Amino acid sequence: MKRRDFFRNAAFTAAGAAVLSPFESIAGGRHSAVAHSADKRAKNIIFMVSDGMSIGTLSMANMLSERRDGKLSTWMSLYHAGTVQRGLMDTASANSLVTDSSAASSAWGGGVRVNNGVLNVAPDGSKPTPILQKFKAAGKAVGCVTTVPITHATPAGFCVNNDSRSAQAEIALTYHDLRFDVMMGGGTEFFSADKRDDKVDVFGKFATSGFQVAKTRDELLAIDAGGKDAPILGVFHQDGLPYALDREHDETLKKETPSLAEMVGTAIRHLKKNRNGFVLQVEGGKVDWAAHANDVGALLYDQLAFEEALATAIAFAEADGDTLVIVTTDHGNANPGLFGGTKNFERIIDFKHTNDWVLQGIDRDFTARQVIERIEHAQGIVIKADEAIRLLSHYVTDRNEDGLYNPYKLPFAEFAEIQQRYTAVSWASTGHSGDHVEIAAYGAGQGLLKPFVRNTDMHYLMLEVTGVSKG
C-alpha cells in the first residue's frame, strides 16, 4: 500500500489512533525510535495545544488509557520512547502570572507578551504581525483546527490583531479577508446571518470567495475525498463542538460532527499539497472548558481525543521527515488530581456522558429519584438522596453558580464536589493556574527546544526552524 493511501484510510477508522500511532504500549513491545537532527530545518509545523491542561489532566488521561485500553496515552508514549525533546514553559502574560488563552496564544503568535483579554496588541499599543500571517506571506499554507469556536482565543492568537478576544463576530470577518487555507471548529453563531447581530452572511462570503464550506461531518468527508485545492472553512456547531464522551455515545452527534482527529487528518492532507510546506495549529479547546466546569468525564475523554489527533500528527511527521510537531498547553486549569483508590477512579471507564450532559437535562420539576437515575444512567454512579437534593436546590431557587462557559449557571462545582466521593478526583478551583506547563517537540529541528522556555520563545523557535524572517 502506498504511504498516501495508508494515511488516508487510517485517519477515518474507528481505531484510527491505534493504527496511526507509531508506537506500541509497554505491554506490546518496543517503541519506534527516530533520531532527529537538532539543526535540521522543518518544512512543516504542527503546533498542538491541549488548552487548559494541568499536569493532573495529562497524568489521569494516561491512567485512564492504561486501564481502559491497556496502553499508554499518545503523549506518554512519546515520553516513554524517548524520541521527543521535552521542557517546561513559563505561561505568564504581560499583566498577570496567570494568563488567559488570548494572551497565551498571542505570546506564541506574536512573540510579545500582551495583557489578558487581547489578541496581539502589546501594552504599548503596537501590533506584532501574527505568525500565520508571516508564514502565509512566506508562501506556506496555514490553518487552524479546534474543538471550540474557530474564532476563539487560541486560534485567533495565531491569526489576528484585536483589542478584545470577545470580538468573535469581527474575527470571523477578518478570517475571510486573510484567506487562510484551512479553518475548522465550532462557532456557527459568528458565521450565520440569522445568528449575527449585523445579519451578515459570513458563510456566504466565504463560499462566494471560493472556499469549500462544510457544516457537517459528511460534508467534510466529501471535501476531503474530492481533493480540491480551494481553501476549506468547516464550522460544525453553534458554539463549541460536543464533548468527545457525549459524541461517542450519541449516534446523531457522531454523524453530524467530526472528531478532532478527523479534522486534523483532513487539514494535513489538504495543507501538505503546498510545495513550500505548511503550518497548522491544532487545539483541544474543550479540555479547558471541562476544567472550568470541574467535569472529570469531559476533561479526560477530551484529552484522549486530543491525543488521538496527536497520534495523527506524529504519524505524518514520522513518515514525512520534514515536519516538526510541538505539543503543549497554554496554561493549567483547575489543577485536578487523583486523591484516592484505583477502584473509584476506574468508574470513569464506564462513563457514557459528561456532567454537562447530566446537568443540562435536569429541570426544576425533577424529583431526587429522577436525578439519581439520570446520573446512574450517564455515569454508573448512585448518589445519595441528600446529594440529589443539593443539586436540585440550584434549579428550584435563583441559580447563582458562576464560572466561565456556564451561561445557564448550572451547578458544576457542586456536582464535582459530590462526585469526588465516587471517582477520587478532586479540584483546586474552577479557574486557570500560573503553573509552568509541559512542552515537547518531535521531528525536524526538535533539538531547538530548550529545557525551560518562556511562551514568547516559541514564536521565534518556529520562525528559526523554518528559516522564515522574524520581520
At 28 the pLDDT is: 32
Q: Which of 168, 173, 143 is nearest to 45 (CA)?
A: 143
At 157 the pLDDT is: 99
Residue 152 annotated as binding site: yes
Mean pLDDT of the chain: 92
Residue 5 annotated as binding site: no
Q: Which of 158, 117, 127, 68 is nearest to 342 (CA)?
A: 68
- φ, ψ of residue 260 to 5 degrees: the values are -60, -40
Do residues 462 and 470 touch, judged by C-beta distance below 8 A? no
Q: Which of 168, 142, 172, 143 is nearest to 153 (CA)?
A: 168
Task: Return the axis-axis angle of helices 296-320 and 55-69, rounded to nearest 10°.
Answer: 80
Residue 330 annotated as binding site: yes
Question: CA torsion angle for 266, 269, 273, 274 (degrees, to 10)?
Answer: 70
Is 101 a known active-site residue? yes
Residue 394 annotated as binding site: no
Name the β-bridge partners of 440: 86, 327
Do residues 243 and 305 touch, judged by C-beta distance below 8 A? no
Per-residue H/E/C for 213-272: EECCHHHHHHHHHHCCCCCEEEECCCCCCCCHHHHHCCHHHHHHCCCHHHHHHHHHHHHC
Domains observed in the chain: 44-338+431-466 (3.40.720.10), 342-423 (no CATH)
Residues 6 or more apart in contact with residue 80 via CB below 8 angstroms: 23, 26, 31, 72
Name the β-bridge partners of 232: 182, 212
Longest CA pairwise span in the chain (Å): 64
What are 162's three cell numbers? 484585536
Residue 302 annotated as binding site: no
Q: Which of 243, 139, 224 is nearest to 186 (CA)?
A: 243
In whole angstroms, what is the distance from residue 258 CA to residue 309 CA? 12
- Dihedral-angle region of residue 359 (phi above 0 means left; psi in -120 to 50 means alpha; beta otherwise): alpha
The 10s digit of each residue's pLDDT in 349-364 is 999 999 999 999 999 9
Catalytic residue among 50, 101, 106, 426: 101
Residue whose C-alpha cell reads 518556529 in the numeric block: 462
Residue 283 annotated as binding site: yes
Per-10-residue mean pLDDT of the chain, 471 residues long, equals 41 37 32 53 98 99 98 98 98 99 99 99 98 99 99 99 98 99 99 97 98 98 97 98 98 97 99 98 99 98 99 98 99 97 96 98 96 99 98 79 62 97 97 98 98 99 94 63
Helix (H) or strand (E) holding 11: helix 3-11
User: Roughly how many angstroms between the first and final C-alpha of the chain, as a whole number?
Assistant: 43
The 10s digit of each residue's pLDDT in 229-266 is 999 999 999 999 999 999 999 999 999 999 999 999 99
In angstroms, the Cα distances linking 198 to 97, 187, 309, 366 are 37, 16, 36, 39
In whole angstroms, what is the distance from residue 333 CA to residue 55 CA? 9
Residue 331 annotated as binding site: yes
What are 359's three cell numbers? 446537568
50, burial (CB in 10 Å: exposed 0-12, middle 13-18, buried 19+): buried
At 131 the pLDDT is: 99
Residue 51 annotated as binding site: yes
